[in-house]
Amino acid sequence: MDIFEKLPEALLPWFDENKRDLPWRRDKEPYHVWLSEIMLQQTRVEAVKGYYHRFLEALPDIEALAEADDELLHKLWEGLGYYSRVRNLKKAALVIMERYEGIFPRKYEAVLALPGIGNYTAGAICSIAFDQPKAAVDGNVLRVISRLTEDGTPIDLPAYKKKVQTALEAVYPQAAGQFTQALMELGATLCGPNWKPRCAECPCGSFCGSALHGTAEQFPVKTPKAKRKTEKRTVFILSCDGRYALEKRPDMGLLAGLWQFPNVAGWLEPEKAPEAVEAMGIKPRELLRQIHRKHIFTHIEWEMQGIYLETAEISGNFVWMTAEEIKGKAALPTAFRQFWEEEQGV
């Protein structure tokens, strides 16, 4: 019996006794599974819980999602980042309404064809919601398998991911959804990414190569990443009579379609700020303060300075909103929201 064949027998009882109580595990509704998996991409579990509840309260089913206004979607997603995820959620909901009469498709190929869904998410939905023997192979699972097998192949290579997916699907038990979640749980807890693996507590310890040989911290191996590009930006928080200047970002590219404070490339000296604001068609009145922040995207890092200015009048090609309007309807991505939180004393 090879390592993969031993996994179901070891993991299923362990998962039954040790699984975390997470809101998206309380039913197998495909919409709920799908939403949670999209939210959990690149995002911590604890951060997702509140968003998950609020999203379902506002949009309880696929039809509501398909009909949702984009501003509402962005506001519900505010702070989660990677906003293309929520836009693809709506696109997929529209497809489900048009092609499948609002019923989430069961076939793997149909699920995979939906906007924003790749092999991992399709595998997660089909196994968890429908108990199909489809593996959901993400970084957590790849880390577990590389340690179990002491395989030094870089886990970010597509060929390795496909190899692991094929090997897992060959041993999937009838309780497919439980097995998928057990693998995820092991990789998120005992065999996690940023701490020494707790091999003594692991249900796979008796047959894990890394646990037996003391090599767990040598795995997984990853291809070295290119250095992240850094850009400097000056952000203007312009206020006048309790209103603040905002604008929409372009519909394509980074943070597409979201709200932002006016900003320019590079760092301006504070004494140059009034001149830059005047070029925007706004008459500055008083420089209030200046702060520095940064925000890290996947491939780029913004070094940002925020300049808070009171203006003489509401002008320029901007939308001027009150604090209450910003809170209620303007989805500010985290890169800009940190300046708003500073303004509000959050």
pLDDT tens digits along 254-301: 999 999 999 999 999 888 999 999 999 999 999 999 999 999 998 999
Residues 6+ apart with CB under 8 A from 267: 232, 233, 234, 303, 305
Closest Cα to residue 205, out of 5, 6, 1?
Answer: 6
Per-residue tokens: 232: 């400097």
Write the pLDDT tens digit of every residue in 233-256.
999 999 999 999 999 999 999 999
DSSP state, residue 127: H
Spatial contact of 261 and 333, defined as CB atoms under 8 Å apart: no
What is the percent of the chain with per-residue pLDDT over 70, rounded to a whole number? Answer: 99
Q: What is the per-residue DSSP string for 200-217?
A: GG-TTTTT-HHHHHT-GG
Judge contact between 100 and 134, C-beta under 8 A: no
Q: How far apart, in whole angstroms, are the C-alpha atoms of residue 47 and residue 247?
A: 27
The sign one gets for the Cα dihedral 6, 10, 16, 21 is: negative
Is residue 310 part of the annotated active site? The answer reads: no
Rounded mean pLDDT, 212-239: 94
- pLDDT of 321 higher than 90: yes
- What is the pLDDT at residue 140? 95
Summarised one tens digit per residue, pLDDT across range 68-119 is 999 999 999 999 999 999 999 999 999 999 999 999 999 999 999 999 999 9
Read off the pLDDT of each residue in 215-229 and give the average, rounded to a whole number: 92
**345/339 Cα distance (integer angstroms):** 10
Cα 293 from Cα 305, distance rounded (Å): 6
Residues 6 or more apart whose CB falls under 8 angstroms from that of 170 comprise 4
Angle between the 70-77 and 45-58 helix axes, to the nearest 10 degrees?
Answer: 150
Closest CA to 203 of 61, 21, 9, 66: 9
- pLDDT score for 99: 98
Say yes or no to pLDDT of 194 above 90: no
Beta bridge partners of 300: 229
Domains in the chain: ranges and CATH: 3-218 (1.10.340.30), 229-344 (3.90.79.10)
Q: Which pLDDT band, with edges at 50, 70 and 90, does 42 fall under?
A: confident
| Residue whose tokens read 């706004």 | 282
Based on its alpha-carbon atoms, the radius of gyration of the chain, rounded to whole angstroms, reads: 24
Q: What percent of the chain has pLDDT over 90?
A: 93
In the set 5, 17, 29, 37, the catalytic residue is 37
Q: What is the mean pLDDT of residues 207-236?
A: 95
What pLDDT, on a 0 to 100 scale, did the predictor assign at position 268? 93
Report residue 126 as tokens: 């089909």
Query: How many angstroms separate the Cα of 331 from the Cα of each of 43, 73, 79, 255, 324?
Result: 18, 9, 8, 11, 12
Residue 270 DSSP one-character state: G
CB-CB contact of 342 with 332 (8 Å):
no
Strand, helix or coil for residue 5: helix
Q: How distant is the alpha carbon of residue 38 from its chain centre?
A: 7
Averaged confidence pLDDT in the chain? 96
Residue 234: phi and psi, rounded to 5, are: -110, 125
> Is 0.75 topped by the overall pTM?
yes
Interatomic CA distance for residues 61 and 43, integer angstroms: 23
pLDDT band at 1 (very low <50, low <70, confident <90, very high): low
- pLDDT tens-digit map of 145-190: 999 999 999 999 999 999 999 999 999 999 999 999 999 999 999 9
Instruction: Quickly count: other Cβ atoms within 10 Å of residue 342's Cβ.
Output: 15
- H/E element holding 182? helix 176-188
Q: What is the distance, to the nearest Å, from the Cα of residue 81 to the centroid of all Cα atoms in its chain?
A: 6
H/E element holding 319?
A: strand 319-322
